[in-house]
Structure 1
């Protein structure tokens, strides 16, 4: 059975051209090309062209064709190992193969060795993610030890906290109304006012920024 080759090309910015990629893909025997222009490699899996490529693979496989998706280089298909593996694995589930021409990388949907290779790469990707997470956590713990306040950046400065408390003490407005007025959640106002149900004291933006500055100064 003749294999139908589909090509996928991508560039990240408007001042780049896919012309060279398209030429190489056509010379490699790709009968149809799917092209993403000015699309980041971290976002291309959400693009309409990327979706159209997979839809075409599914259509051709439904018609009984052998299908291979080709790219010039692996980083044209994805900028992260995780997304690359997910994309190739999805093609494999559809019964399609994958080839990166310049990187000598081939996934053969009919080959047990290709499936084993993909599984090994998946394990390496998971290991890489765990290392990154571990390093990030270690870095954060070190900064917390130096005074950095963990959690999201607060929205309210001390002046706003004083104004909210003053308004509530005067009985002028409710927590819900105060939340709307200051553009924060009701739970934030409850923490600011230290009403029943608040989980921990509210840290003002002033205090958060000062703690961050001190922690960075000690790094």
Structure 2
């Protein structure tokens, strides 16, 4: 049997391209397991766990690309070891790698190294971009929900003792944690 796995990192991404690729590779739709909005560095992925649990000896575990399965060599190696212990072959697209075969293992490790390298490059570029934006004064973080005038009024109303935190949250149409953050910020 062919077991498929698809993953995308953000809720804004679409899994249809991967799902279609898996179906084109011969995976039945009911055997495709997916994780939506979970990064490859997060090992706690329910879809991956279901896919691994569904794999039996003689099956082929299929992902469209290695970076959809794992973003680090240790994680990729761990998944490959799980598959090998069950007697399951791993297919990356149309290429099948037998984790028990030395050549298959070597090639898989090389691909995993590239996937990890790519993830490291993305992190490095993101940090560099954030540092540049911060230096230019364009990276300020999340803005407060209340204007400075509203923050001062909230503080004044709180100091009178006539309003509870819940009252202030209702009056300003914000959550109680926002009221607490605002009070801490304006003190």
Structure 1 residue ranges without an equivalent (≥5): 195-219
- 1:120/1:68 CA distance change after superposition, 3 Å: same
Instruction: Check conservation: 2:89, 2:97, Cα contact below 8 A.
Output: yes
- 1:178/1:146 CA distance change after superposition, 3 Å: farther
- How far apart are the structure 2 equivalents of 1:92 and 1:33? 25
Q: TM-score, normalised by structure 2?
A: 0.62
Matched, 1:133 2:131: no
Question: What RMSD in Å do the two structures reach over aligned CA positions?
Answer: 4.1
Instruction: Check conservation: 1:9, 1:33, Cα contact below 8 A.
Output: no
- 1:112/1:86 CA distance change after superposition, 3 Å: same
- 1:178/1:119 CA distance change after superposition, 3 Å: farther
Structure 2 residue ranges without an equivalent (≥5): 7-13, 39-44
Q: Which residue in the other structure is 2:83 paired with?
A: 94
- How far apart are the structure 1 equivalents of 2:37 and 2:159? 50
- Post-superposition offset of 1:24: 5.2
- Paired residue for 1:115, among 98, 101, 105? 105
Q: Which residue in the other structure is 1:217 paired with?
A: none
Q: TM-score, normalised by structure 1?
A: 0.55
- How far apart are the structure 1 equivalents of 2:24 and 2:124? 43
For the pair shown, the structure with the greater C-alpha radius of gyration is 1
- How far apart are the structure 1 equivalents of 2:22 and 2:118? 30
- How far apart are the structure 2 equivalents of 1:56 and 1:154? 47
Matches within 5 A, 1:176-187: 176-177=165-166, 180-181=169-170, 182-185=174-177, 187=180
- Post-superposition offset of 1:150: 3.3
Matches within 5 A, 1:12-31: 12-13=15-16, 22=23, 25=26
Q: Which residue in the other structure is 1:66 paired with?
A: 58
| Pairs aligned (count) | 167
